[in-house]
Amino acid sequence: MFNPTRLALFAACLLSTGAALAATTATPGQLKVGMEITYPPFESYDSDKNVVGSDPELAHALAKQLQAKAEFVDTKFPNLILGLNAGHYDAIISGMYITPERQAQALTIPYARTGAAIMVPADSTLKPAVPEDLCGLKVGLEQGTTWVAQFKTLSTDYCVPNNKGAISVSEFPSAPEVTQALLSKNIQAQVEISGAAHMIAEKTKGRVVVTSQQLVYPQTLGIYVKKGNDDTYQALLKAVAQSKQSGEYAAILKKYNLEEASN
Domains of the chain: 24-114+219-255 (3.40.190.10), 115-218 (3.40.190.10)
Nearest Cα residue to 187 out of 139, 121, 142: 139
Single-letter code of the amino acid located at 33 = V
Q: What is the C-alpha to C-alpha distance for residues 188 and 168, in angstroms, rounded to an integer?
A: 10
CA 91 to chain centre: 12
Check whether 215 has a pLDDT greater than 60. Answer: yes
- In this prediction, residue 3 carries a pLDDT of 52
Check whether 249 has a pLDDT greater than 60. Answer: yes
| Overall average pLDDT of the 63-68 stretch | 96
Check whether 11 has a pLDDT greater than 90. Answer: no
- DSSP secondary structure letters along 154-220: HIIIIITTTTS---EEEEESSHHHHHHHHHTTSSSEEEEEHHHHHHHHHHTTTSEEE--SS-EEEEE
Check whether 22 has a pLDDT greater than 60. Answer: no
Dihedral angle computed from the Cα positions of residues 156, 162, 165 and 169, in that order, rounded to the nearest 10 degrees: -30
- In this prediction, residue 263 carries a pLDDT of 61
